[in-house]
Chains A and B, each alone.
Chain A
């Protein structure tokens, strides 16, 4: 019985260490463009889509290119590997995941934060009167 518990604990400890290592390796830091440029690591950056700048889907490469400004005011061209995400136009904030490469932020993932649709706001109530 003792041996069983010992083996069990060793296996459990090994599993948790494996988990911890993977956790650190795959953890994507939440940061701004400045740090992304400095580190060249995969990071997440929150910001807003600059609607008035040119944005386009490049059919030949399958990439969606747009401009974004992070919370510290730094602007950056973002190149996303895919089509414009479903909720992109209504998002009040977007989070891009990827890395800085050759002057462009290469995003592998975009999260769109939907606006306060879920908590009513005064402008909306006036529209429905």
Chain B
């Protein structure tokens, strides 16, 4: 009750704040400013209040709330219990709202210093009000008896044996039964990454709204230049945080999910990549505008687009629009999300782009002063290329919608689409990331450019020649490696020079070094990865992937559900042991596999468990027999002769007593003939099955289903379950572990590149914040 009230209160307060800010903007009168600020802080306090409350309900297992019941359980360790806060739609929207509201406080202080508060906070309140509206519709504090009224609500007096009852309406004597346990967290999410990864991602998502508010504010007050300086550190911050979130997600997939990759081009992954790419593009053109005053319209466009893409991505993954074509998009959350999210995109899109169109004509034309051989132009081309990557990925991810409209049937694109379309862009980007760093602002002399190109180009040629000698023949990948290595060498030399001068200015070069390493890592680890599935009989070494000898040493239980499988990896003179894990989850009644990774300098050796075959493993199959039909079961001829259902038994069935029905089977095996009679026993509605086994063997027959046909008894059929020990021929004597082993060459480049990229970002943020501060 309090939770719902707090959500409503926060919504009301944020509306007051937004309207007051608008009034200040309209009238230029500061009278309402205090009210706006006060209302905003009230809203934040209430958001914090209901988030704390939700967390408290989760930690104290208050299963009378549907959300708590749906995602948590009493057996979860505390960190995971906390993470169930954002395991579902309602909770993750709450988290997004929380971070947005907190960032708003920092933003308010920042913009009031920059004299930008009114417009920025007006737009910010608008964004926050839409997030809260979402929570009003999809309330995290819904009571479980409202969700399941038919199953939980009862009237009359509470029976003595019911201990988990709660009076809902004592006057009308209505009470509800409250669950004593929750459904728990999906085991795939029960992982320490779940604690940290969504938090980072949502911080990134929340901060992606900041450039939008600055752009709109700039348009509102017709300040076409100044907003860029103020907005820049926020854009870099958002890009850094979201980028970190994306790559952590990749590492999560690689390290624990066991499918062997870090990026699957899934809509959920793409949906954070697209806004990230747009923000990266806008960082580059913002930099040019700050320097030369150009690209005014481009910067407005990109900053607005970035947030619109955040909203569109949310729509794609949260509305159920991708339906069956995606693995991890949420199952249809109902119409509310669909229309509300669509409305949100529409409102913010029209607001931003419409305002831009209206102001476009009034914008003073900035004369183009830079030549083609200028840093400005390289930056523009770079942003252009990055935007195309974003467009291509958006088109690919939206494929089910596009094909749904054009052909009436939704179809997704193959991941090959993304690889094929982004590869040429990657090559272009790498070349630009190299050349751009060598160009001067405004214009550079061709002679100087050629001179500075010389050594990096030679190094890249030598590097690529080395790859060709090593046997790489795939032309697009050779070109990509060449371009990426060129970017690497240019930025290494440029970065070294800057670093010796002033290390704080080296952020850009360091980030580009990271990018080049990342690209080289992509080529090596995804294109040249080798895979092999092998059966490892306990104690018997097997050679795999040329030069690795694997020996399965045995397994041991790690806890109630997880088993570790020790495998010795003999690589020349070094011997390691890895322990991939299989988890048999009783919660989802499924098996989960966690790989183990042998991290070496030049490669990862990745061992993912597939299955275990135990010698006494019984094979079970179900067969359908028509009356009189003979079928082959593991080399035996089995005939369904008839039912055994005597008149005495029929009489018992009619009177409701205990009765037995048998199925007569004739089994011919190695010349011997035998009659078997598995039984079904019904005593007062409770049914039990009694199997029959072949004499002197472990093969058993059990009734699975009886399908008598009264009109035409010859059409009767039965389903019989046959349990047999594993196939008789080449039966494994010892336990056999089946694993998928793969080599990921130079995957360390991917992680190294990422860390370098993030370091570059941090240096840039520090520098931009200092610059913005100097302007005060």
Contact = CB atoms under 8 A, between A and B. Distances in A.
Contact of B152 (A18, A87, A89, A125): A125
Interface string A83-120: 11011111001010100000000000001111111111
A29 B258 CA distance: 28
A15 interface: yes
B611 interface: yes
A120 B66 contact: yes
Given A23-B417, A27-B399, A57-B611, A128 B331 contact: no
Contacts of B622: 52-53
Nearest to A55: B621
Contacts of A112: 327
Contacts of A97: 414
Interface string B580-611: 00000000111111000000000000001011
Nearest to B152: A125
Interface residue tally on B, bucketed by range: 35 or more
A30 B740 CA distance: 30
Contacts of A46: 324
Contacts of B526: none
Contacts of B152: 125
Contacts of A38: none
Given A62-B533, A114-B331, A120-B148, A84 B611 contact: yes
Given A29-B411, A122-B148, A125-B144, A113 B331 contact: yes
Interface in A21-71: 22-23, 25-31, 42, 44, 46, 52-54, 57, 59-60, 62
A93 B188 CA distance: 18
A87 B590 contact: yes
A62 B164 contact: no
A90 B89 CA distance: 21
Contacts of A118: 70, 88-89, 330-331, 333
A93 B326 CA distance: 12
B414 A117 contact: no
B150 interface: yes
B535 interface: yes
A87 B187 CA distance: 10
B642 interface: no
Given A128-B69, A128-B179, A29 B409 contact: yes
A116 B588 contact: no
Interface of A: 1, 8, 12, 15-16, 18-19, 22-23, 25-31, 42, 44, 46, 52-54, 57, 59-60, 62, 82-84, 86-90, 93, 95, 97, 111-120, 122, 124-126, 128-129
Given A26-B416, A46-B324, A111-B326, 20 more contacts: A19-B391, A19-B392, A19-B421, A22-B420, A23-B417, A28-B411, A52-B622, A53-B621, A54-B621, A57-B738, A59-B535, A62-B740, A89-B589, A89-B590, A90-B588, A113-B331, A115-B331, A118-B88, A118-B331, A125-B144
Q: Sort A-B residue pairs by CB-CB distance and give the 3 closest, nearest first.
A: A62-B533, A89-B590, A26-B417
